[in-house]
Amino acid sequence: MGIWNGTLVYVGARTLLAGAMIALLLRRRVGPWYAGGQVVSDLCCAAFLLGYVNPDIRDDVGLLVLPLLLFVLYWEATRFLDNRRAAAAREDEETTWDTVLRVYGSAWAFGFVVPAVLAGGFLMFDVVAPGQWPFPNPRPGMSCGPKQLDSGATLTLRMRVPHGAELSVFTPGGRSLVVVPFVRQGTVARGQGFDYMPTLTIRADTVAGLVTPGSKPERVFTDSGVYALRVSSEGELDASLVCRVR
């Protein structure tokens, strides 16, 4: 079982237990706001765990991880301390059911809340310092989609920065067209050139490239077949920065 499937199983088990906890809260008539806060906290924790192993979900969460993580920390810590205070303030003898709930609460906190908070912390670290933490299932150096292009479709390239400064396309006929040519160092301020662009969106019916510098631009996507898009540094071919579309 891969880490993605394992995480899905873990999050599924966590969701079932969270649902049982919320049902118990509603039976104890704690109020809809309290139950709603628990629902939001559990959903945030599930997003943190899934985002840790899936780059697409990680991108979707984005900057929202900051306020969501703060809410989860506040909510779960407050609920844990409230339960501890309530148990300490009891004057009657603890029943078996109370013992079960106390053990369940501790197991829930350390087995399901702490891992989610840690995952959220790594997501927050990735927002502050992108690319500095080795997440499982990392996004490839370059990806493009959709894989099947029709007339008038929009092609989106996602690239890990910094990357090469040239974008070229190899056509089904074996020709090479340069869509984004190299720019001499010092011409563009550092961090502002193509090599620092995380995404690039192009129209399949209008994008053009050059066979040689100074030649007349030619449309790229004119024939049926597989096109290979390559991002590279000057004089370098990095296989990890190649994607293909049909």
Q: What is the average pLDDT across 200-211?
A: 87
Q: Which residue in 201, 205, 184 sits closest to 193, CA to CA? A: 184
Instruction: Calculate the alpha carbon distances from 141 to 137, 152, 158, 190, 231 in Å.
Output: 12, 26, 8, 20, 10
Largest CA distance in the chain: 89
d(CA 58, CA 42): 17
Residue scoring higher pLDDT (172 or 89): 172
**Averaged confidence pLDDT in the chain:** 79
pLDDT at site 196: 80
As a whole number of angstroms, the distance between CA 185 and CA 198 comes to 19
Q: So what's the pLDDT on residue 218?
A: 87
Q: Percentage of the chain surpassing pLDDT 70?
A: 79
More confident residue, 2 or 62: 62
Architecture of the domain spanning 142-245: Sandwich (2.60)
Residues 6+ apart with CB under 8 A from 172: 223, 224, 225, 226, 227
Contact assessment for residue 226 and residue 172, using Cβ atoms and an 8 Å cutoff: yes
Q: What is the 3-state secondary structure (H, E, C) of 121-169?
A: HHHHHHHHCCCCCCCCCCCCCEEEECCCCCCCCEEEEEECCCCCCEEEE
Q: Where are the domains of the chain?
A: 3-128, 142-245
Which of 169, 181, 178, 179 has its CA nearest to residue 225?
169
Instruction: For residue 153, give Cα distances in angstroms to 50, 167, 199.
Output: 30, 19, 16
Q: Where are the alpha helices (DSSP H) in 28-95?
A: 32-53, 55-61, 65-88
Q: Which of 149, 167, 154, 147 is nearest to 209 (CA)?
A: 167
**For residues 139-156, average pLDDT:** 84
Number of H helices, E strands in the chain: 6, 9
- pLDDT-derived band at 120 (thresholds 50, 70, 90) equals very high
DSSP three-state, residue 201: strand
Torsion of CA 153, 180, 198, 5, to 10 degrees: 60
Q: H/E element holding 211?
A: none
* Range of 46-55, 96-105, 122-131 with top mean pLDDT: 46-55
**Three-class SS of residue 67?**
helix
